[in-house]
Amino acid sequence: MLNKIRNSIFLAITIFGSSLFAQTTISVDATKGEHVINRNIYGHFAEHLGRCIYDGIYVGEENNAIPNTDGVRNDIIDALIELKVPVLRWPGGCFADTYHWMDGIGPKEGRPTMINNWWGGVTEDNSFGTHDFLNLCERIGAEPYLAGNVGSGEVKELSDWVKYVNHDGVSPMSDLRKANGREKPWKVKYWGVGNEMWGCGGNMTPEFYANLFRQYSTFMTDWSNSDKLFRIASGANVDDYHWTEVLMRDIPKHLIEGVALHSYSFVEWNDKGSASEFSEGQYFSTMQTALKMEELVTKHSAIMDKYDPKKRIALIVDEWGGWYDVEDGTNPGFLYQQNTMRDAMIAGVSLNIFNNHADRVRMANLAQTVNVLQAVILTEGEKMILTPTYHVLKMYNVHQDATLIPLSFESPKYQFDGKELPAVSASASKDESGAIHISLVNIDSKNSQKISLDLPGVKGKEVAATILKSDKLQDFNSFEKSEKIYPESFKSVKLKGETISLELPPFSVAVLEVQ
236: left (phi over 0), alpha (psi -120 to 50) or beta: beta
Cite the beta strand spans of 15-93 per DSSP E: 23-28, 43-45, 68-69, 72-73, 87-90
76, 371 in Cβ contact below 8 A? Answer: no
For 11, residues 6+ apart whose C-beta sits below 8 A from its C-beta are: none
Of the candidates 47, 124, 143, 196, the residue annotated as catalytic is: 196
Gap between the Cα atoms of 33 and 397, Å rounded: 18
User: How far is it, in rounded angstroms, from Cα 30 to Cα 475?
Assistant: 36
What DSSP character marks residue 476? B
> What is d(CA 256, CA 314) in angstroms, rounded to the nearest whole number?
9
| Cα(266)–Cα(59) distance, integer angstroms | 31
CA atoms within 13 A of residue 125's CA, in its CB half-sphere: 8
DSSP classification of residue 308: -
**Does residue 323 contact residue 264 with C-beta atoms inside 8 Å?**
yes
What residues does 145 pair with on adjacent strands? 89, 190
Active site residue 196: yes
Instruction: Sort strands 436-442 and 508-514 into parallel, antiparallel or unpaired.
Output: antiparallel
Q: How many CA atoms lie within 13 A of 187 on its CB side?
A: 8
3 state SS of 493: coil
Sign of CA dihedral 163, 166, 169, 175: positive
**Does residue 109 carry a catalytic annotation?**
no
Active-site entry in 124, 143, 257, 319? 319
- Distance, in Å, from the CA atom of 361 to the CA atom of 399, rounded to the nearest integer, reads 14
DSSP letters spanning 87-151: EEEES-SGGGGG--GGGGSS-GGGPPPEEETTTTTEEE---S-HHHHHHHHHHHT-EEEEEE--S
Strand pairing category for 230-237 and 258-265: parallel
Segment holding 395, helix H or strand E: helix 388-396
C-alpha angle 431-433-438 in degrees, rounded to nearest 5? 40
Residue in 137, 9, 21 with CA at minimum distance from that of residue 72? 137
CA distances from 185 to 125, 177, 249 (A): 25, 8, 34
Active site residues per annotation:
196, 319
